[in-house]
Structure 1
Amino acid sequence: MTITTKDIAEIANVSQSTVSRCLNDSPMIPEKTKKRILKIAEEHGFQFNAHARSLSANKTYTIGVILPKSLFDFEGEMHFRSWQNELIESLEQMEFDVIVSFFQNRFTKQNNIKRLIAAKKVDGLIILEPTLDDETINVLEKTDVPFIFCKYIPHYYKTRDVDFVCVDQFKGGYIAADHLIKQGHKNIMCISANRAGGEFELRTEGFKAAFHDHNLQYNDSTLFYGDTTFESGYKIIKDNMKTLGDITAIFAQNDLMALGAISALKECGINVPKDIAVIGFDDIELCTFYKPYLTTVHQPTKEIAALTCKRLIEKLNSKEESLKQKLEISPTLVIRESCGISS
């Protein structure tokens, strides 16, 4: 049986991160502890991790994950919980510790990216915050600490070489509309949102492109804007009941707005999917909590997290500046009951 650092940690009665630091000869660990851990590893035939050993000395073996401010809201928490969990899991599998923080301290207003870099608390940064101020950009441009953007790319970096991993949001909007059109729907309401990061604009562009490719006329009057909450999806339907006469399907660009729309439709005696089909976006846990189960565009957070972490570790291990990589991962459509087809 192959022994892992977790097994060694249990035998030695220390944390897994302590074992990792000992095996990588970290100066943070006393020599006595290092010798004891190394002896246990040798006795149990532990195979040293080549990638971890390749990291230079005097490292913290800690990665900072900078989460967006929108996570403070319920809808943000529902959406970003899976992103946070997948990133932490990927980093822990690579035997790194994780510091999870926000762009700005809510109480002191201190810039946490600047603080983590200045205090040398992290070896690298994964940034999910879509809006960065000039001070932060200046810090990132001057630092030797590798960083990578995940999910969002701040406006400043859209025209610059930078490491970035995200979902193809345009394709997400496209496959949602394409599926509905192929099901025979032509009059489709689209519920978008005005939020930082640009993802909703891209979903709308993809949605419109599908109409064009099917030689259908897109009607701007069927585009509405919510604020990503359940309540906004509900309110849009309630406030526009008179315009639903010809509508046979709805594409809500996040799941909470889709669920809110379904709730309003039910209250108004409109059957989903018999009268109106509904598609959401994100594939959050709540999609299968209520009937009808929600058809939605699934964002492959696990794959994106793994690629983000892999790329950051490559940057940590590289002694030379490598070409930046911008990776867009394709989403998939998860078909459930809200489009008339059970999964």
Structure 2
Amino acid sequence: MAVTIKDIAKIAGVSYSTVSRSLNNSDLVADETKEKIKSIAGELGFAFNANARSLSTKKTGTIGIIYPESYYIDVFDVNLFYNSLHNQIRRSLEREELDLIIAFPRNRVNGPSSNIERLVKSRKVDGLILVNPALDELDKDALKLMQSNKIPFVFLHHCPDDSRLSEEHNVFATDHFKGGYIATEHLIRYGHKQIACITARESGEEYANRTAGYKAALDAYEIPFNPDIFFNGDRSFQSGYHIIMNTKDKLKKFSAVFAQTDMMALGAIEALKELKVRVPEDIAVVGYDDIEIVNFFKPLLTTVHQPREKIAVLACETLINMMKGNKQKRRNVLVDPILIRRESCGSRLQY
């Protein structure tokens, strides 16, 4: 026979309503009592009915996460980063016993409808985390719908492409300008003046900011920008590889490479190896992201670490407070990235 709230109430010596409030984390019940009741429920194997909770509290206990289409179409290079970010989001929400629904901007089967609008209208979520920079008019209409329905949301990792949205809403992202700057400055301080750069210009504002940081570091050290050693890739291992192989006649024009993703950096290193160019002795390489896979390649990649855990925790904490109705100021947070020194730039040296 299934365990009921009445069974728990009898053992705990409290009313049915106290048990219900405790299992719903109501502030009307003392923490000590809530913990006692939850402990009894756990020992008895009691599973609280989520549908019943939704009817009584008008809460689903579920958060929606909107990822960009590039994650949906299973692009390996992109997914490595988003998988790591998602793990951080999941940890933060599971600590609060919140469930997750993963969705994408569009329904690719039933037409170009907004999944944000669908989630809001069907009342499937209590809040949304938007990991997507490109918002078109359908998305903006959906955001208005969320506001009118008082569904809290935050932007994570990507700053919205509409600056007004950044000014009006909570945004948590990495400071990519600083990331580009510290990667380039690191190479300069090792004595490099001719630093090639491989960007992914068409992949979003974050890459434009990394490039701006790269150029700012050159300027700060009075090194002229050389467009002849500035290359456009597509974030992938293959693009880093082919850029080096297709420009091997220019290798003597630079002594270092700043690749704006780790996968492009690894591709560049592979090409340099095939061309019998030593890394870092002949050409130093710095990447960006610090994805886990870099630990399986030699030489170990010096890279810019994106603070995935920190921005995920900040975004989830803010969203949860908004869902609880706690008043707070709008937060637009750019978190500093960190340079991780390894072998590919001659990390055994000191400056």
* TM bucket normalised to smaller: 0.7 to 0.9
Q: Is the 8 A contact 1:20 1:95 kept in 2?
A: no
Whole-Å Cα distance in 2 between the matches of residues 21 and 102 of structure 1?
34
Q: How many angstroms does 1:79 deviate by?
A: 1.4
Matched residue type, 1:138: D
Whole-Å Cα distance in 1 between the matches of residues 64 and 20 of structure 2?
17
Q: Is the 8 A contact 2:114 2:142 kept in 1?
A: no
Is 1:131 the counterpart of 2:134? The answer is yes
Bigger CA drift: 304-313 or 65-74? 65-74
| Residue of structure 2 equivalent to 1:295 | 302
| Residue of structure 2 equivalent to 1:197 | 204
Call closer, same or farther: CA 1:22–1:111 in 2, change over 3 Å. Answer: farther
Is 1:58 the counterpart of 2:58? The answer is yes
Call closer, same or farther: CA 1:20–1:235 in 2, change over 3 Å. Answer: farther
Call closer, same or farther: CA 1:334–1:21 in 2, change over 3 Å. Answer: farther
Is 1:113 the counterpart of 2:116? The answer is yes
Matched residue type, 1:189: A
Is 1:82 the counterpart of 2:89? The answer is no
Deviations 1:58-112 (A, max 9, x none): 2111111111111121111111100111101110012211111112233224421
Unpaired segments ≥5 residues, structure 2 = 1-7, 9-18, 27-33, 45-55
Whole-Å Cα distance in 1 between the matches of residues 80 and 43 of structure 2?
45
| Residue of structure 1 equivalent to 2:161 | 155
Q: How many angstroms does 1:319 deviate by?
A: 5.7
Alpha carbon RMSD of aligned pairs, Å?
Answer: 2.6
Is 1:341 the counterpart of 2:337? The answer is no
Alignment partner of 2:181 out of 174, 189, 195: 174
Whole-Å Cα distance in 2 between the matches of residues 21 and 301 of structure 1?
35
Is 1:330 the counterpart of 2:339? The answer is no
Q: How does 1:188-267 map to 2 (within 5 A)?
A: 188-267=195-274
Q: Is the 8 A contact 1:64 1:122 kept in 2?
A: yes
Q: How many angstroms does 1:323 deviate by?
A: 3.1
Whole-Å Cα distance in 2 between the matches of residues 90 and 335 of structure 1?
28
Call closer, same or farther: CA 1:25–1:305 in 2, change over 3 Å. Answer: closer
Alignment identity in percent? 45
Q: Is the 8 A contact 1:177 1:251 kept in 2?
A: yes
Q: How many angstroms does 1:176 deviate by?
A: 0.2
SS in 2 for 1:195: helix
| Residue of structure 1 equivalent to 2:5 | none
Deviations 1:185-207 (A, max 9, x none): 00000000123430000000001
Runs of 4+, deviation exceeding 3 Å:
19-22, 36-39, 41-44, 157-160
Alignment partner of 1:277 out of 255, 262, 284: 284
SS in 2 for 1:191: strand
Q: How many angstroms does 1:170 deviate by?
A: 0.2
Alignment partner of 1:146 out of 137, 146, 152: 152
Whole-Å Cα distance in 2 between the matches of residues 286 and 210 of structure 1?
28
Q: Is the 8 A contact 1:233 1:258 kept in 2?
A: yes
Q: If you compute each CA radius of gyration, which structure gives the higher value, 1 or 2?
A: 2
Matched residue type, 2:280: P
Whole-Å Cα distance in 1 between the matches of residues 260 and 38 of structure 2?
52
Q: How many angstroms does 1:21 deviate by?
A: 8.8
SS in 1 for 2:196: strand
SS in 1 for 2:207: helix
| Residue of structure 2 equivalent to 1:5 | none
Matched residue type, 1:298: H
Matched residue type, 1:79: F
